[in-house]
Amino acid sequence: MTVSETGEAESSAAQRLLVDLVETPSPSGEEDAAAERLVEFFEGHDREVWRDEVGNVHAPADDAVLLTSHIDTVPGDIPVEIDEGADGERSLWGRGSVDATGSLAAMAVAAVETGVSFLGVVGEEVDSRGARHVIESDRPEPGVVVNGEPSGWTGITLGYRGLLAGTYVATSESGHTSRPENNAIQDAMDWWSRVEEEFDPDEYLPVFEQVTCKPTEFEGGTSVDGLSVEATMEVQFRVPPEYTVDDVREMADGQLNGGTVHWYDAVPPVMESPRTDVARAFRGAIRNAGGDPRLLRKTGTADMNVFASTWDCPMVTYGPGDSDLDHAPDEHLPLAEYDRAIEVLVDACERLRGDDG
């Protein structure tokens, strides 16, 4: 029996939507069932709603504000249940409860309550194909964008580092291991050592302001025909706003001494001002709900980067949940925090629409 069927989360329609979505597996590439649940939710509130060619869910309305979050989650089977802690706080456990189904559901509810536009996108955890499709389409630029990712209900995220990803490939002639010259594996290791030295940060520099270099996969050895040695390495760089993606690519290419890199993904960093109307609206809404606003910078990359690369409108990222639980085996979201985040979203949207009196 599911959590929904037991009636444990029947305290509000908003919580029912959250539980339904968390109970619906939606790893990247398998978002259809969750997307259809969102369509059903908007249709049930007499809102225009449709899905595009890649599976995004659009519920257009007042485009002064666009609330957007991602439908997909990372893989992982975490039993969905509502647990009451020693402090009496009830939390929903399950994959996506924090990243970012909590934000997605909260934004859907707030969009219905305030009449602003909503967009649920696919593929954020893999290649942001949903967000990329939207900015490459003829969708008009909204007044402001509120991107949904966990920040805690009092947190407002203004910045993300960018991403540069590539594949390093080197080949050398095979030969006896007693020979002194480098083989392809050594070329790869030498290149990466030089890259790490190039981007070695000042120990006092915050992580957000550093270029982080990370190899994610490595394969190397003698080719099948025995005539060469081959090395392949997948690499990623996180790019702070101090640099452009092109800066980092040129610096990494400048360390090559054998081998080549095919760069296949580039997402620019983003850093928004805390003095925009949308940032002010969220600070006011959080204070109005009894919280102390926190301005955040995240060391990862999100769809906000993609939207900011094309749209020249103010943006923030906001959503319930502890981002330390992203992708974690103990991912869970306090239901009281989810409800409070909806309250903040509704208040902020009303301020941005000029409905706050």
> Where in the sequence numbering do the catalytic residues fall?
72, 124
Nearest Cα to Cα of residue 58 among 106, 129, 136, 111: 111
Distance CA 117, CA 179 (A): 65
The number of beta carbons lying within 10 Å of the beta carbon of residue 228 is: 15
Nearest Cα to Cα of residue 108 among 159, 267, 132, 100: 100
